[in-house]
Chain A
């Protein structure tokens, strides 16, 4: 009996590290890495071989200005959105059913429809009310694509930020409210000094994601004729038919998003260092 067991060929046991030096996974991993390396090298050689100094002369500065426009657009929208998100989150959290329903409708609309449709609705849709807007003297605002983009993006991000804020405030344990009121603190003091600081720590990560989403989403502004990074890229491509325009844009967006992600991770690690175990 024992002999039989010993002579039976050992079957490869799954889950146990293989004794082979080159497991299938290792081979696959290296093959894919070689593919990435080749793709990177191919891209680099394409960028060098087809490098057009004239293109850089003419459009290099445009890319920089587009980059700045993108940052301005995102920064401004996020700021306005943050301010708008406060009353919306408060309404969502309020006991009043009416306020809750209004805020829920607002949030549902802006989270459930594409940003591009919202931008069109504001920029082109404002034309339907031209006479009315002219009469009350705000037509200058809706005539300008820049204001329309900021308007649409601010409302959009305010809906997302309100949800982040609401979720993180509700996430703070009830015991925190009870303990604070047992100490005789007033409601505003409890909210500002005890609940909000804890909520914001929870909210840090989703806020970071929202900033990244906003940077990526802002590319849509190019469609309503704003010359942000994407807009400048499309203009450069349509005039020069040089595909490198898109590669440069990709590099700039990746650098922007990756830098932000890294900085935000540092920032978060720093702010939550007292929670480390």
Chain B
């Protein structure tokens, strides 16, 4: 028991600091991905509920691709494909440029793409829960389209989309584990290194699993708080 505690403690003999730095990277990656995914997802939802068929089709192509591909494959496509494309582009200007894609950025881009495709569906179904009268009421008050969206629709939209978005956040947190495969020193990778060095794989991967569970629990509490906040105007039933 003492040995185990030493192994996961902080300091020179333990792996606590390495694992903590891995947790930090995992959380940073998830938080950095979130705004891009949300904004892209929101724009996609706007496109999908548009009256214009070409815009709807364009958004649906996007969703079909990124919901159909395994997240791991999306990550590889962005990581290696991005490298090739950027190299080609930069070769036009600097003939012997060597481009290396940062694995954090590649992970962020890939996870944002995936997150956005699911978030667009969440936003879309939330849009369906808002009646047309809300828009008409906004216009009748003389608000412009953007004002109506910002002041009338968006606050309701957040409330309606929040449960689905909360689930997506938990999925995102778990999906960050995949970036360990392209060499980012996240929680899983640090646990893997520790497991190999100390020959205690079950211990370290078990600890990693428990940390993910802890992160999920903290997130659930946060989501509940935001949910209560967004529902503060509702009549309690």
A26 touches B73 (CB 8 A): no
Q: Complex: how many Å from CA A243 to CA B84?
A: 9
A246 touches B77 (CB 8 A): yes
B57 touches A113 (CB 8 A): no
Residues of B within 8 A of A135 (CB): none
Produce 1/0 per residue, A99-133, CB < 8 A to B: 00000000011001111111011001111110000
Residues of B within 8 A of A269 (CB): none
Q: Give chain B nearest CB distance to A101 CB in angstroms.
A: 15
Does A10 make an interface contact (CB < 8 A)? no
Produce 1/0 per residue, A250-272, CB < 8 A to B: 10011001100000000000000
Segment at the A interface, from B89-97, B100-108, B170-178: B170-178
In A9-49, the 8 Å CB interface with B consists of 13-15, 17, 23, 25-26, 28-30, 32-33, 35-36
A30 touches B73 (CB 8 A): no
Q: Complex: how many Å from CA A35 to CA B178?
A: 29
Q: Complex: how many Å from CA A17 to CA B69?
A: 37
B202 touches A113 (CB 8 A): no
B55 touches A29 (CB 8 A): yes
Does B205 make an interface contact (CB < 8 A)? yes
Does A204 make an interface contact (CB < 8 A)? no
Residues of A within 8 A of B148 (CB): 14
In the complex formed, the residue of B with least CB distance to A46 is B84
Does B36 make an interface contact (CB < 8 A)? no
Residues of B within 8 A of A30 (CB): 54
Pick from B73, B139, B212: contact of A113, CB below 8 A. B212
Q: Complex: how many Å from CA A47 to CA B213?
A: 43
B212 touches A29 (CB 8 A): no
Does B39 make an interface contact (CB < 8 A)? no
B53 touches A29 (CB 8 A): yes
Residues of A within 8 A of B201 (CB): 120, 124-125, 127-128
Residues of A within 8 A of B216 (CB): 112-113
Q: How large is the interface on B (under 10, 10 to 19, 20 to 34, 35 or more residues)?
A: 35 or more
Residues of A within 8 A of B71 (CB): 216, 219
The B interface is mostly helix, strand or loop, or mixed, namely helix
B205 touches A120 (CB 8 A): yes
Residues of A within 8 A of B17 (CB): none
Residues of B within 8 A of A13 (CB): 139
In the complex formed, the residue of A with least CB distance to B135 is A15
Produce 1/0 per residue, B58-78, CB < 8 A to A: 110100110111111100110
Residues of B within 8 A of A125 (CB): 201-202, 205-206
Residues of A within 8 A of B202 (CB): 121, 124-129
A112 touches B213 (CB 8 A): yes
Q: Complex: how many Å from CA A15 to CA B178?
A: 44
A216 touches B213 (CB 8 A): no
Q: Give chain A nearest CB distance to B87 CB in angstroms.
A: 11
The 5 A-B pairs with the shortest beta carbon distances in the complex, nearest first, are A29-B55, A29-B54, A125-B202, A128-B202, A114-B177
25 residue pairs of the A-B complex, CB under 8 angstroms, read A13-B139, A17-B51, A29-B50, A32-B47, A33-B57, A33-B58, A109-B209, A112-B170, A112-B213, A114-B174, A114-B177, A116-B180, A118-B209, A120-B192, A120-B205, A120-B208, A124-B202, A216-B68, A222-B72, A233-B73, A237-B80, A249-B73, A254-B65, A254-B69, A258-B68
